[in-house]
Amino acid sequence: MVSAREGKVESTDNPTERMSKVADQEFLEYLVKAIVDHPEDVKIERKVDEMGVLLSLRVHAQDMGQVVGRQGQTANAIRSLLRIVGIKHDARVNLKIEEPEGSTRPPQQSSPPESKE
């Protein structure tokens, strides 16, 4: 067995255990590809460490709005469903939605500008 932090996949001889390790990733891929306009650009990276499973999602820049939804409602719903899949397989699953390259979203300010009177 090799550490997931080194980017290598752990091997196992138990097919049930192997299936549970990718069930969350396959579920996320199926779900996201169903709601985006560019399903060919959906990329998911899976990392496992002592904190649980981290799924990093990358989508086409034009699909970010569909994945995040209004006020993050779609993203929160996807995260809730992933938690349920994780509970079913005794794992803590977290989702990170990565900002696509070429994004038109302006950089966020850390604090509002102070007014000078």
73-88 pLDDT, tens per residue? 999 999 999 999 999 9
16-75 pLDDT, tens per residue? 444 556 889 999 999 999 999 999 999 999 999 888 999 999 999 999 999 999 999 999
From residue 95, how far is each of 66, 102, 112 by CA, in Å?
Answer: 16, 21, 29
B/e letters for 72-93, b = 16+ CB within 10 Å, e = fewer, are eebbeebbebbbebbeebebeb
Q: Assign domain 37-100 to its CATH architecture.
A: 2-Layer Sandwich (3.30)
**Any idea where the domains of the chain sit in the sequence?**
37-100
Rounded Cα gap, residues 38 and 109, in angstroms: 30
Q: What pTM does this model have?
A: 0.70
